[in-house]
Structure 1
Amino acid sequence: MGNQTSAPTSQSAETQREAGSSTVSAHSGSVINTPQLSGVNVGGNININTYVQPPASTEQTQHISPTTEENIQKCQADLKSYLKSQTKNLLQGTEEDGSQTQLNKSYTELYITEGGSGEVNHEHEVIELECTRSSSEEKKIHLNDIFEPLIKEDDPPQRVLTKGIAGIGKTVAVQKFTHDWAVGKANQTIEFIFPFTFRELNLIKDKDWSLTELIAYYFKVGDLEASDYSNKSILFIFDGLDESKLPLDIKKNKMCHSVTDTTTLDVLLTNLITGKLLHKASVWITSRPAAATKIPAKFIDRVTEVRGFNDEQKEEYFQRNVSDKDVAQKIFDHLQSKPLRSLYIMCHIPVFCWISATALQSLLTKTQKGELPKTVTEMYTHFLIVQTKRNNEKDYHEGETDTDVIMKLGKLAFEQLQKGNIIFYEDDLKSCQIDLTQAAVYSGVCTQIIRKEFGLHKQNIYSFIHLSIQEFLAALYVLETFIDNGKNLLSKVKVKVVSDKGELPLILLHKSAVDMALDSDYGQWDLFVRFLLGLSQVQNQELLQKFFQFKERPPQSNKMTITRIHEKIKKLSYTDKSINLFHCLNELGDQSLVEQVQKYQSSGDVSKISPAHWSALAYLLLVSTDDLDVFDLQKYHKSEEVLKRLLPVLRVAKTALLSDCNLVDSCCHNISSVLSFKSSRLEELDLSKNNLQDYGMTLLSDGLKSPNCKLQRLCLQDCGITKKGCQALASGLASNSSHLRELDLSNNRFLDEGLELLSRALNQCTLETLRLCECGLKGEPPASALNLNPSQLKNLDLSRNHFTEQAITQLCSFLKHPDCQLEKLGLFKTNLQTESVDALASALASNPSQLRELDLGGNSLGDGGVMKIAALLKDPNCKVDKLRLFKTNLQTESVDALASALASNPSQLRELDLGGNSLGDGGVMKIAALLKDPNCKVDKLRLVGCQFTHNGCAVLASSLKSNPGHLRVLDLTRNVLQDVGVENLSEFLAEPLCQLETLKLKCCMLTAACCRSLTFALSCSSALKELDLSFNHLTDQGLTLLADWLRKPQCRLEILRLPGCTDSSCESLASALTLNPSHLRELELSRTDSEGPGLERLSGLQRNSGYKLQKLVVKSTVATPTD
Structure 2
Amino acid sequence: MDKDAALPHSLRSKVTSTLLGGEPPRSVISNNKYISPLAAAAHGPDSDADAGRLALDAAVHAALSAGAGAVTLVGPEGSGKTTALEQLLVGWAEGRHLQDFSFVFHFRFRELSSLDGTLSLETLLLRHHHGRLAPGSAARVLQNPEGALFVFDDLDRLERTSDPSAASDPRQPASVSGWVAGLLRGSLLKGAAFVATTREAESRPFPSGAVVRAAGFARPQREAYVTGFFLHDPAAAARATAHMERTLGFYDFCASPGFCWTVCSVYGSLMDAGAELPETLTQLYAQVLVRLIRALRLSEARARALVSALGEMASRCLVGRDSGCTEEEMDSFGFGTFLASVDGFLRVDADRSDGRVFSFRSRLVQEFLSAAAFLWDSAPSEGAQEMLAKLEGRAEFLDVFLAGLSEPRQRRPLEALLGAPDPDRVAGFDRWFRSSSREALKGCDKDRHLRCFHLLLQAQNQSSVREVVDDAARLGVSYGGPSLRDCAALNYVVTRLGGMQRLVLYNTRNLTEAHAETLAPTMRLAREINLNSSCFSPAAARRLSSALSGGLAEELDLSQSRVGDEKFNIFCAGLRNCKLRTLKIRSCALTEASAGALASLLTSGAPQLCVLEVGYNKLGDRGLMELCRALQGPLCKLQELLLDSCDLTAASVEALAAALCSGHSALRRVDLTRNAVGERGLAALSRSLQNPLCELQSLSLSDCELTSSCCLGLSEALASQRCRLRQLDLSVNDLHQEGALLLCRALRRPGCPVEKLSLARCRLTPPVLQELSSLLRGGCSGLTALSVGLNAVGDRGVKHLWDAVAHPSCLLEELDVEMTGLTDACVQDLCGAVRASRTLRRLELRNNALTDAAVPALVLAARDSERLLEMSLRYNDFSEDVFHEMDECQKIRY
TM-score normalised by length of structure 1: 0.41
**Amino acid across the alignment from 1:950:** P
CA contact (8 A) 2:750 2:781 kept: no
**Amino acid across the alignment from 2:543:** S
- 2:861 pairs with one of 1022, 1045, 1048: 1045
CA drift of 1:949 comes to 1.5
Residue 750 (structure 1) aligned with residue 573 (structure 2): no
Residue 779 (structure 1) aligned with residue 592 (structure 2): yes
Cα distance, 1:558–1:913 mapped onto 2, change above 3 Å: same
CA contact (8 A) 1:967 1:996 kept: yes
TM alignment of 1:710-1109, pairs within 5 A = 710-719=525-534, 721=535, 725-738=537-550, 739-788=552-601, 789=605, 791-847=607-663, 850-905=666-721, 908-963=724-779, 966-992=782-808, 996-1021=812-837, 1024-1048=840-864, 1050=866, 1052-1054=868-870, 1056-1063=872-879, 1066-1074=880-888, 1076-1077=889-890, 1079=891, 1083-1084=893-894
Instruction: Give the stretch that moved more between structures: 956-965 or 774-783.
Output: 956-965
Question: SS of the residue aligned with 1:696?
Answer: coil
Instruction: Give the stretch that moved more between structures: 991-1000 or 803-812.
Output: 991-1000
Cα distance, 1:579–1:967 mapped onto 2, change above 3 Å: farther
**Amino acid across the alignment from 2:541:** L
Question: SS of the residue aligned with 1:916?
Answer: coil
CA drift of 1:840 comes to 2.1
**Residues 763-799 of structure 1 deviation map (CA, whole Å, 9 limit, x = unaligned):** 3333222222222222135422332125222111221
CA drift of 1:563 comes to 3.0
**Amino acid across the alignment from 1:725:** S
Cα distance, 1:716–1:494 mapped onto 2, change above 3 Å: closer
Structure 1: how far apart are the matches of 2:714 and 2:732?
Answer: 16
Cα distance, 1:819–1:1073 mapped onto 2, change above 3 Å: same
Question: SS of the residue aligned with 1:714?
Answer: strand
Aligned to 1:679: 496
Cα distance, 1:785–1:700 mapped onto 2, change above 3 Å: farther
Aligned to 2:234: none
CA contact (8 A) 1:658 1:686 kept: yes
CA drift of 1:938 comes to 3.2
Question: SS of the residue aligned with 1:758?
Answer: helix
CA contact (8 A) 1:948 1:977 kept: yes
Question: SS of the residue aligned with 2:694?
Answer: coil
**Amino acid across the alignment from 1:730:** R
CA drift of 1:672 comes to 5.4
CA drift of 1:837 comes to 2.0
Instruction: Give the stretch that moved more between structures: 853-862 or 760-769.
Output: 760-769
CA contact (8 A) 1:1046 1:1072 kept: no
Structure 2: how far apart are the matches of 1:726 and 1:574?
Answer: 37
CA drift of 1:819 comes to 1.4
CA drift of 1:590 comes to 13
TM alignment of 1:318-357, pairs within 5 A = none
**Amino acid across the alignment from 2:387:** R
Cα distance, 1:671–1:996 mapped onto 2, change above 3 Å: farther
**Amino acid across the alignment from 1:682:** M
CA drift of 1:529 comes to 12
Cα distance, 1:651–1:1055 mapped onto 2, change above 3 Å: farther
Question: SS of the residue aligned with 1:1004?
Answer: coil
TM alignment of 1:467-546, pairs within 5 A = none
Cα distance, 1:872–1:585 mapped onto 2, change above 3 Å: farther
Q: State the Cα RMSD in Å.
A: 4.9
Instruction: Give the stretch that moved more between structures: 937-946 or 881-890.
Output: 937-946
Question: SS of the residue aligned with 1:731?
Answer: helix
Question: SS of the residue aligned with 1:830?
Answer: coil
Cα distance, 1:589–1:761 mapped onto 2, change above 3 Å: closer
TM alignment of 1:58-77, pairs within 5 A = none
**Amino acid across the alignment from 1:563:** E
Structure 1: how far apart are the matches of 2:635 and 2:869?
Answer: 45
Q: In terms of Rg, which structure is larger?
A: 1
**Amino acid across the alignment from 1:679:** R
**Amino acid across the alignment from 1:750:** V
**Amino acid across the alignment from 1:1073:** D
**Amino acid across the alignment from 1:706:** P
CA drift of 1:1000 comes to 2.2
Structure 2: how far apart are the matches of 1:699 and 1:781?
Answer: 26
CA drift of 1:902 comes to 2.4
Cα distance, 1:927–1:578 mapped onto 2, change above 3 Å: farther
Aligned to 2:20: none
Q: What 5-or-longer segments of structure 2 have no aligned partner? A: 1-274, 277-299, 312-332, 334-362, 408-420, 457-464
Cα distance, 1:642–1:1050 mapped onto 2, change above 3 Å: same
- 1:564 pairs with one of 369, 375, 387: 387
Structure 1: how far apart are the matches of 2:833 and 2:427?
Answer: 57
CA contact (8 A) 2:304 2:376 kept: no
Structure 1: how far apart are the matches of 2:665 and 2:593?
Answer: 30
TM alignment of 1:55-204, pairs within 5 A = none
CA drift of 1:493 comes to 6.2
Structure 2: how far apart are the matches of 1:562 and 1:781?
Answer: 55
TM-score normalised by length of structure 2: 0.50
Cα distance, 1:726–1:745 mapped onto 2, change above 3 Å: farther
CA contact (8 A) 2:691 2:723 kept: no
Structure 2: how far apart are the matches of 1:804 and 1:1060?
Answer: 40
TM alignment of 1:325-724, pairs within 5 A = 558-559=381-382, 562-567=385-390, 570=393, 571-572=395-396, 620=435, 623=438, 633=444, 636=445, 640=447, 644=451, 656-658=475-477, 663-664=480-481, 666-667=482-483, 669-671=485-487, 673-677=489-493, 678-680=495-497, 681-688=499-506, 690=507, 692-693=508-509, 695-706=510-521, 709-719=524-534, 721=535
Structure 1: how far apart are the matches of 2:887 and 2:873?
Answer: 14
Of the two structures, which has the highest relative contact order with CA contacts closer than 8 Å and spacing of 6 or more?
2
CA contact (8 A) 2:487 2:519 kept: no
Structure 2: how far apart are the matches of 1:532 and 1:995?
Answer: 73
Structure 2: how far apart are the matches of 1:590 and 1:1018?
Answer: 60
**Residues 241-266 of structure 1 deviation map (CA, whole Å, 9 limit, x = unaligned):** xxxxxxxxxxxxxxxxxxxxxxxxxx
CA drift of 1:762 comes to 2.6
* Percent identity for Structure 1 against Structure 2: 24
CA contact (8 A) 1:718 1:746 kept: yes
**Amino acid across the alignment from 2:496:** S
Structure 1: how far apart are the matches of 2:505 and 2:523?
Answer: 20
Structure 1: how far apart are the matches of 2:677 and 2:496?
Answer: 51
CA contact (8 A) 1:574 1:645 kept: no
Cα distance, 1:836–1:703 mapped onto 2, change above 3 Å: same
Question: SS of the residue aligned with 2:626?
Answer: helix
Question: SS of the residue aligned with 2:719?
Answer: helix
CA contact (8 A) 1:741 1:768 kept: yes
Question: SS of the residue aligned with 2:496?
Answer: coil
